[in-house]
Every structure is written in structure tokens, then in C-alpha cells.
Amino acid sequence: MIFMKYNKINEYINNSIIVLGNDVNSFLTSYSLKTRYPDKEIYHLNIKDSKSESLVNSVFLDDNWIKKFKFKNNFTKSEYQIKNFYDINNESYDNKINCYKENTINFIQTLKDKCIEIGVKVDEGFIRDYQHILGNTTDPFYSNLFNDNSFVSLKFDNLKETKNIHAGFFIDCLGDKSFFFDDDYFDRNTHTANSINLNVKYNQYSKLLPNDMMLSATYKNKDNKTGSVCEARPEGILYRYYDKDLVYLRYYFAENYVTKHIVTDLLKKEFDLKDIKIHRNINCQREYNNYFNVFALGRTVGNFENIICDDGLITQRILIDFVELFKHKQISVYTKKQYNEYVKEIFDEYANLTSLHYALTTRDDSRYWQDRLNENYEIDFKKLGRVSLRETIRYFKRWVMILKI
């Protein structure tokens, strides 16, 4: 009878998944998992003291994700343009991304409501501690759980009660200051939990993409413009999303060409900026995105500048296959290794496609662009087999070179 009870406990734990995060990527994950597995317990823990900043301001939806997870929305499609990569005065082109006229805050609420509607358990508060098994355990309580070091529960405080939430799998969508993948999550002044002491470093795509820093800010939308635009500037890339009253601005640049102070001063002269922040870990991917029974998604894995995609779009692309890992109660070491390679391939694909916008330019109005002309980018066209280059090539009008490759 006792053994039967342990089996039931293990079955319950293995059918439970905890998703950590406050952003679009995290709620996309919870929604996708619950839609695919309505009988599994999906806990979405909204972490109130997350140190990561949300960089997504507009909504991009992937048609394949919408179809697989039967996501219904009544958002209005919006315009997304790319300008000035070819030269200073060239015409822009529409990127073939489904950009919707809805800002991130509203979309997060929409996703949250849909998650609750289909049975996701959403809670908000603070992580106080965690529990995990060290090696193969002889304790029959967990004898059926995993065959490696495994995280079992989180002690979660929602300011009403502190409870241990058990799960067989954990998905960290907290971003570049994550709970499971960084070693500086906890504020020692307010938390009693020990740090996991894991620090999975980022690999930069420096041979494909020149920018390594980003400035984010907002300013008033005085012209009542709509849509999104990505514009190449003399010293970097300016991305703007026009919301009702605000414009969300991001400027991607390379620190070895221009300092953050110069970029800030230049943009302040042009726009009445508010909430200015400087971000590192741009155009990068972590060395690995899973270990034990923990997986990373969203900006916890990495991110790119917003030329042809955003991290929400990449997350949807990954989720289509990611959810299939949980068909069974255990995931083998080999499967996790292959999944890590799969995610790396997707990031490599977007990195190579983004790099084309620099490699094909003929701009020479600054040292930044002159160096782009003289750089031999290591673009791997084999990684672009699933991507349509029609719009990109039409924009650059460099058919002969591409067709010969």
C-alpha cells in the first residue's frame, strides 16, 4: 500500500510543470503547455522581484504557433518596416512578420486571462527557497522521479501564505537574470534562500552581428503614428514601436564604435526620452539551455536585435516542438542534448538571416558602415534553407551574388 502511495505521488509530480516568468514568453509557454496537455498541472509563478527587464513592446505572432495551439485573437495587423540598410535614402520594405496592433502589457494580460481560463494555476509572489535531490536517491518517496540531480519543489511566498509547490519539470522564462541559470538572482537582504550558484554564460554572435549593447527608452507619440519601424542609423540600429500615447525606442550599437554616453546624448537631442536604460547581453545565446529537469525559454536562452524577429517570435517557433518533449513523464539525457542542439540551430538561423542585412549593405557614411563593407561575414546559407529570402533580396537588389552562392 505504501509503495502504491509513492507511485501516485511520483505520478503527480511528474505531471506537474512550473513556469517562472512575468513576460510574454512565459505566458506563451504556460498557454502552450496547458493547451497541449489539459490534464497536466501547470503552475505559472509570476515573480515580483525579477531583475530582468522586458524588452518586447509590440506583439508578433507566428502563424504556425497560432494554428497548433488554436489561439484566437481579434488584434489588428500592423505595419513593420525596415529602412536604410542599403543606403541612406533607399525605400523601405515590409518585413513578413505578423505584427499586431497591441502592446506587450495588454497582450500579457490577454494571455494571462486565457491561461487561467484553460486551467493554468497562476500565482504571484517571491521565491524563498528550493529543494532538489542530490544524485540517485534511495528514498522511495522519489524513487520513480529522475535519474540525475533533480529539482523537486519551490518554496513560494505570495504574501498570503508560503507553500512548497512540487513539480517534475521547471521552465525558466525570467530572462538574463534568471533563477536557475544565473548565480545572482537572490537579493541577500530580503531572501533567505541559497543561490543555486550556476552561471551559464552567453555566447555572442560577434562574427555575424556587430552590436553588443542596447539603449531602451520611451517618449511621447505626438504624431499619432502607428506600427513598427527598424531604421539603420550612422552608428547603429534604431527600432521604434508606436503605441497610442508612447513610442518604445531601442537603439542597438557596438561599444567599440560609440560609447553609451554619446548614444544617450544623440538620442536625447532628437527625442524627449524617458526611462533610459542600457542593456548588455545583446545578440547572444547561452552555452546550454537545459540541465537536470530544468529548461530555459525566452530571453533566458538569448535574444537578437529587432531587425527580422523578436524573442517572442523565436519562443513561439520553439514551443511548437518543445511541448512534445513532455509526452512521457521522463526525458532522457540524449533527448535533452538533442533539444539543446535544436534550439541552437534556430538561434543560428535567425543570427545568419539578421547578419545578411549587414553583409549586403553598401552604406559608407560612417566608420561603422565602412567596416561592414570590409567585413567578411561568416554567414552559413545552409542554415537558411527554411527561410524565404525573397523580401530581403528584393530590398538589397543583389540577386547575382546570392544566386551564385
Record the cell numbers describing residue 339, joined without a space: 533539444
Q: What is the pLDDT of residue 208?
A: 95
Q: Give the up-direction half-sphere exposure of residue 220: CA atoms within 13 A in the CB hemisphere.
A: 3
What DSSP assignment string belongs to 115-170? Answer: HHHHT-EEEEEEEEEEEEE-SS---GGGTTT-SS-EEEEEEEE-SS-EEEEE-SEE
What is the number of alpha carbons within 13 Å of residue 56 lying toward its C-beta? 30
Of 347, 344, 83, 354, nearest to 208 by C-alpha is 354
Residue 105: band (very low, low, confident or very high) from pLDDT cuts 50, 70, 90: confident
Share above pLDDT 90 across residues of the chain, in percent, rounded to a whole number:
53
Q: Is the pLDDT of residue 245 over 50?
A: yes
Q: State the SS3 of 31-49.
A: HHHHHHCCCCEEEEEEECC
Question: For the segment 5-20, what is each residue's pLDDT rounded down to a tens digit?
Answer: 556 656 667 789 999 9
**pLDDT of residue 374 exceeding 90:** yes
The residue with greater pLDDT, 91 or 200, is 200
What is the average per-residue pLDDT within 398-403?
A: 45
pTM: 0.89
Q: What is the pLDDT of residue 399?
A: 44
Q: What average pLDDT score do residues 330-345 get?
A: 91
Tell whether the model's pLDDT for residue 3 goes beyond 50: no
Minimum mean pLDDT among 7-11, 175-179, 328-332, 358-362: which range? Answer: 7-11
Give yes or no for a contact between 251 and 262, defined as CB atoms under 8 angstroms apart. no
Q: Among 46-50, 105-109, 179-183, 342-346, whose mean pLDDT is lowest?
A: 46-50
Stretch 343-357: mean pLDDT: 92
Highest mean pLDDT among 115-119, 193-197, 242-246, 385-389: 115-119
pLDDT digits (tens, 9 = 90+) for 44-56: 999 887 666 666 6
Confidence of residue 188 (pLDDT cuts 50, 70, 90): very low
Interval 146-161: pLDDT, tens: 545 688 889 999 989 9
**289 pLDDT above the threshold of 90:** yes
CATH label, 2-51+108-200+287-301+319-346, candidates 3.40.50, 3.50.50, 2.40.50, 3.30.70: 3.50.50
CA dihedral 190, 195, 199, 200 (to 10 degrees): -100
* pLDDT, averaged across the chain: 85
Looking at residue 212, its pLDDT comes to 94
Pairwise CA distance, residues 338 & 169, whole Å? 17
Residues in Cβ contact with 106 at an 8 Å cutoff, skipping those fewer than 6 apart: none
